[in-house]
Structure 1
Amino acid sequence: MEAIRMSSPQSPTFELTDPISRTTSRVSRFSLDPDPEAGKERRLSPSTTATPPAAAEKDDPFEVLWDGPNDPECPLNMSMARKWAIVVVIAVSCLCVTCCSSMAAMTYSGMIATYGINTTLCISSISFFVMGLGCGPLLLGPVSEFAGRKPVLHGGFALFFLLNFPVAFAPHIALHLAFRFLTGFVGSAFLSVSGGAITDVFHNTRVATPMMIFSSAPFLGPVLGPLLSGFINQRQPDWRWTYYVVIMWAFVCMAALLLLLPETYDPQLLKRKARRLRQDTGDARWRAPIEKLDRSFAAALKHSLRTPFRLLATEPMVLFLDLWSALILGILYLSFSGVPYIFRTQHGFSLEQTGMSFLGIGAGQVVAALSQPLFNRAYAKVSAAHGGHAPPEARLVMGMFGGVICPIGLLLLGLTAFKEVHWIVPIVLSSFFGLGLVYAYTATFTYLVDAYRPVAASALASNSFLRSTFAAGFPLFGLPLYERLGPVGATCLLAGLLFLFTPLPFIFYRTGASVRARSNFAAHGM
């Protein structure tokens, strides 16, 4: 089993942790439990004391476990105020990272004047950052299994803060682009682990609301980026102020993380407890379950790099679902050139007004997040009808809505991109694209986790890599596409591409079980 990371558009991921084998799943209530998000109860093992209990009670009397369900060291027993402080600071920090990806969209005129480059090279500032977000989880994914959450979260965000200084002060474009890639790369380390810290401190019955808040941040970030950047660059002639603001924002978040975010990863906390018991008792036999595992970082890294590409090559459902989500994200990032082109040429918008034109997409994403409980209740009914274990294909119901709504929203945006149509109409209609985007992504991520649970981390890593590849490439031809076809033609063409994937969730809803039955990687018997 793997550490399962649920991604969001920029590879931001929340982690459903299962790095430990089934034989040690009794060690911790959640993070060592094999399928934690499948609705299983979090379990605590019998009390551990300095005097080992009878061997008959445990396989290993010196195995260090939590001292019952009320152990104050267990992250589940933190105060509710501290838990919500962790949620808020992580969500705002994730918003900072993902917002940074698209804030470059409103800096092009300043970059052209400073560096003497063309618009395409300016757009590559977004592309390099997004490629860093996509590559990071492949290389950094296993780190938290060995180091814990806290070092990755603190270290990743500290590097994100520091590496934005060369981005802001770069004297030439090559240095600027190199550090844009690196900030995306280290930012992905934070995003890939941050959700796991939230699931560490909330019981399964309480985790839905905090996860909804956290998961909304990576969706909203890329949409808020042009809006904030538009205000900054409209009122401040120096485009570098865009990144000065990012640096100040990141500094505040980093300070809050250092003050409010402790280690929450059960295996590491039990390892600390075992070390303390060895020191207090002088008995070297005390061991945490993670200390008994024969694991190496090199083997975990090799697995993290190889398995995602094997899935893309051999699993048609993984490939097509990844292509679907990659196309949606590619179009979203292409819109950072397309939407400004529509509202500047058709309605004469200023820079800050152009940034506000993304409010429609953002509003749709908020509505999607707020409607999540409706789908959760529907899924619970299906789960109850199947004895508490709904088939993975039940996750695709939301995808059916997304597959229809997303291209319709884009088509309506294109069909109303005329000068004669009031500017508020395309903005309002673009909300359907944002709504369908979240539905499509949520269905894809949750289905990949359920259907390919034995290799779920790799399935999501393959999705993250392909999404980021599309998101990095699409903006580069966005402006030429709109200049050649015009606002209506280009937007309708993109909507047509999305319509090609509309049948996908419907097809896999009916055929997914039979495809999984023939798979070497998928979960069977569900």
Structure 2
Amino acid sequence: MSYFPVANEYIDGVFNEKTNLPPRWSFYVPDFDFDVKDFEKYEQQDNSEDDDIPTALKGFRVDFYPGDPNDPKCWSVAYRMLVVGMFAFTTLATGIYSTAYSSGINQMVEELGITNQSLPLLGISLYLVGLALGALIMAPLSETFGRRPMYIGGLTVFLALIPIAALATNFTMVIVARFLGAVAGSVMLSNVAGSIIDITDPKYLPLAISVYSFGPLNGPVLGPLIGGFLVEAWGWRSLNWMSLISTAVGAAFIMTIPETYRPTLLRKMAAQKRKEEDDLRYWSDFDDTVPLFRRIRTAVSRPFILSFTEPVLLFWNVYISVIYAIVQLAYVAFPIIFQGERGWSTSISGLAFLGVFVGIALVLATEPLLRKLVQRQPKNPDTGKPEPEATVLLICIGAVLEPVGQLMFALTSLPVEIPFYWSILSGVPFGYGFGLVFIYGTGYISNVFGMYATSASAGNLVFRSILGAVLVIVGKSMYAALTPRIAGITIGVAEVVLMPIPFIFLKWGKKIRQKSKLIRTLEEQAKKVGK
């Protein structure tokens, strides 16, 4: 195991001024008679063998042993399945809250006396901005303090803010509560992928990510579908109470999940061992004595650093963000077409999302077949497992299906003489394509960036949330200026233009990935910890 693991590369590169040692080793210097020069050689060499450990520290490295109950990957299969399921359920509940809001806009405008008809869309766009801001806080801090504190803090604040929106007497209260709620609730989008990697064997990671992705993918789709009926039955405020109850159920379970982040666990285990044995020689690969403020500063900047210095992440951020933003645009387009043009009621118009829901659900239903397809791809001779690019084949399938669904919708949604079921059926290939791109695109990012999966995912969340927020704001004007058909065709063409990105990674992804020093180091780190 490397003495200077990749954890320290992005946590802090500053050496101890007094000893010229990396921060984690300087912790031990006062108690042992070391020659500082003995450590300098570790900066330039691979210290993967036990023989390279300084004599005074041999036998004192704290790590998980095979079958260690402290290792989250050794939890029972049933419990890990339950954890993934509750992650999916809670994210589903928060996702429904994000978009069910659109079903109650007309009632809210009338009750709160809102005169600007475009103003209520801020409730959607600012929610997306809140998700982006929250990801920049929650994700990197989870890699500093651990996953569990972020879940407890984020979900507690999220639940506390929902009643404020439900009892609001003016629109300002609504959007402020939703914005701050999104910042806190972003923990369910930015942190869960990392948690799933913490507890899941790589072989079953695509399945676990697929199960979890049912929440973030279908939550926003189910929001208008469920919300329409709730609004007609109990009014727009009921949307908030429904979200409060459903999210609280999942949050109550998630708050009981033990810590899963390996560096946090091993740091605590080493500290506990030093205390119990009264011996400072016990250490872990992730010990760090960098000042807290500096660690937080570096952690918060990490998503930006990764997003703009790693070409792999930048390309996927752009592609996934455009696909995600187009789905967000549907929450603007569907009411225009089905309520405005076809005259459907609020409750019935929500059923227009049924095709998209079915398409996304089919991704989960066909996951065993998709996994077999991935397993048939060429194996890495060193690991005996498919390369990360094996899943890009599925993204390529999605990259073709989504614009097919988008263009089909654009051509069949209007005029009203065209039977409505054609536009709803177009949601099936659209939803299936979107599901493949989102699940396996974000899964690819998490797989490639390993220990920094949460920060990498946060960068992706920021990209897609901001672009989605912009399209929501300009979407209504765009559909009015271009007409729904031309606007829909324009969006479909944009998807076609971006289609080559996954195909490029399918063919040359491994070469692109191996050009990254960080990714190569992370892969070596993963091998050494036995992933």
Match of 1:174 in 2: 172
How far apart, CA to CA, are the structure 2 residues paired with 1:193 and 1:212? 16
How far apart, CA to CA, are the structure 2 residues paired with 1:270 and 1:324? 36
How far apart, CA to CA, are the structure 2 residues paired with 1:270 and 1:317? 29
Provide Cα deviations, 1:11-44, integer angstroms capped at 9, x if missing partner: xxxxxxxxx99xxxxxxxxxxxxxxxxxxxxxxx
Post-superposition shift, 1:207? Answer: 4.6
Write the mapping of 1:114-153 to structure 2, written as runs, cut at 5 A.
Answer: 114-117=111-114, 118-153=116-151
Post-superposition shift, 1:350? Answer: 1.2
Per the normalisation by structure 2, the TM-score is 0.79
How far apart, CA to CA, are the structure 1 residues paired with 2:462 and 2:168? 27
Write the mapping of 1:415-494 to structure 2, written as runs, cut at 5 A.
Answer: 415-417=411-413, 418-449=415-446, 458-494=455-491
In structure 2, relative to structure 1, the CA distance for the partners of 1:207 and 1:395 (3 Å cut) is: closer
Match of 1:376 in 2: 371
For 2:212, give the aligned amino acid. F
How far apart, CA to CA, are the structure 1 residues paired with 2:184 and 2:77? 30
Post-superposition shift, 1:312? Answer: 5.2
Post-superposition shift, 1:389? Answer: 5.7
Match of 1:154 in 2: 152
For 1:153, give the aligned amino acid. Y
How far apart, CA to CA, are the structure 2 residues paired with 1:398 and 1:327? 18
Post-superposition shift, 1:242? Answer: 1.0
For 1:113, give the aligned amino acid. E
Q: Note if contact 2:210-2:439 (Cα within 8 Å) is conserved in structure 1.
A: no
Match of 2:227 in 1: 229
How far apart, CA to CA, are the structure 1 residues paired with 2:485 and 2:198? 47
Write the mapping of 1:93-492 to structure 2, written as runs, cut at 5 A.
Answer: 93-117=90-114, 118-236=116-234, 238-258=235-255, 260-274=256-270, 277=273, 280-281=276-277, 283-285=278-280, 287=282, 289=284, 292-310=287-305, 313=308, 318-384=313-379, 386-387=381-382, 388=384, 390-417=386-413, 418-449=415-446, 458-492=455-489
Post-superposition shift, 1:422? Answer: 2.1
Match of 2:3 in 1: none
What are structure 1's unaligned runs of at least 5 residues? 4-19, 22-45, 47-54
Write the mapping of 1:37-76 to structure 2, written as runs, cut at 5 A.
Answer: 59-66=57-64, 68-76=65-73
Q: Note if contact 1:152-1:190 (Cα within 8 Å) is conserved in structure 2.
A: no
In structure 2, relative to structure 1, the CA distance for the partners of 1:262 and 1:309 (3 Å cut) is: closer
Match of 1:6 in 2: none
Match of 1:40 in 2: none
For 2:187, give the aligned amino acid. A
Post-superposition shift, 1:443? Answer: 4.2
Match of 1:25 in 2: none
Moved more, 488-497 or 55-64: 55-64
In structure 2, relative to structure 1, the CA distance for the partners of 1:58 and 1:421 (3 Å cut) is: farther
How far apart, CA to CA, are the structure 2 residues paired with 1:365 and 1:301? 37
How far apart, CA to CA, are the structure 1 residues paired with 2:76 and 2:63? 21
In structure 2, relative to structure 1, the CA distance for the partners of 1:229 and 1:297 (3 Å cut) is: farther
Post-superposition shift, 1:302? Answer: 3.6
In structure 2, relative to structure 1, the CA distance for the partners of 1:402 and 1:93 (3 Å cut) is: same
In structure 2, relative to structure 1, the CA distance for the partners of 1:196 and 1:320 (3 Å cut) is: closer
How far apart, CA to CA, are the structure 2 residues paired with 1:205 and 1:349? 46
SS at match of 2:483: helix
Pick from 503, 524, 527 the counterpart of residue 506 of structure 1.
503
Match of 1:12 in 2: none
Q: Note if contact 2:190-2:458 (Cα within 8 Å) is conserved in structure 1.
A: no
Moved more, 451-460 or 69-78: 451-460
In structure 2, relative to structure 1, the CA distance for the partners of 1:162 and 1:287 (3 Å cut) is: farther
Provide Cα deviations, 1:68-108, integer angstroms capped at 9, x if missing partner: 43444443443444333322322211111222211111111
Q: Note if contact 1:452-1:523 (Cα within 8 Å) is conserved in structure 2.
A: no
SS at match of 2:489: helix
In structure 2, relative to structure 1, the CA distance for the partners of 1:504 and 1:105 (3 Å cut) is: same
Post-superposition shift, 1:126? Answer: 1.0
Task: Report % sequence identity.
Answer: 28
SS at match of 1:119: coil
Post-superposition shift, 1:150? Answer: 2.1
Q: Note if contact 1:104-1:229 (Cα within 8 Å) is conserved in structure 2.
A: yes
How far apart, CA to CA, are the structure 2 residues paired with 1:525 and 1:506? 24
Provide Cα deviations, 1:302-350, integer angstroms capped at 9, x if missing partner: 4444454455556655444322221211111111110122122343221
Q: Note if contact 1:148-1:263 (Cα within 8 Å) is conserved in structure 2.
A: yes
In structure 2, relative to structure 1, the CA distance for the partners of 1:450 and 1:262 (3 Å cut) is: closer
Q: Note if contact 1:142-1:297 (Cα within 8 Å) is conserved in structure 2.
A: no
Q: Note if contact 1:141-1:189 (Cα within 8 Å) is conserved in structure 2.
A: yes
For 1:135, give the aligned amino acid. L
Provide Cα deviations, 1:325-380, integer angstroms capped at 9, x if missing partner: 21211111111110122122343221111112111111111112333333333332
In structure 2, relative to structure 1, the CA distance for the partners of 1:158 and 1:500 (3 Å cut) is: same
- RMSD value, Cα: 3.4
How far apart, CA to CA, are the structure 2 residues paired with 1:71 and 1:438? 35
How far apart, CA to CA, are the structure 1 residues paired with 2:394 and 2:192? 25
Q: Note if contact 1:139-1:301 (Cα within 8 Å) is conserved in structure 2.
A: no
Post-superposition shift, 1:226? Answer: 0.9
How far apart, CA to CA, are the structure 2 residues paired with 1:314 and 1:203? 29
Post-superposition shift, 1:412? Answer: 0.5
How far apart, CA to CA, are the structure 1 residues paired with 2:286 and 2:101? 45
Per the normalisation by structure 1, the TM-score is 0.80
In structure 2, relative to structure 1, the CA distance for the partners of 1:519 and 1:217 (3 Å cut) is: same
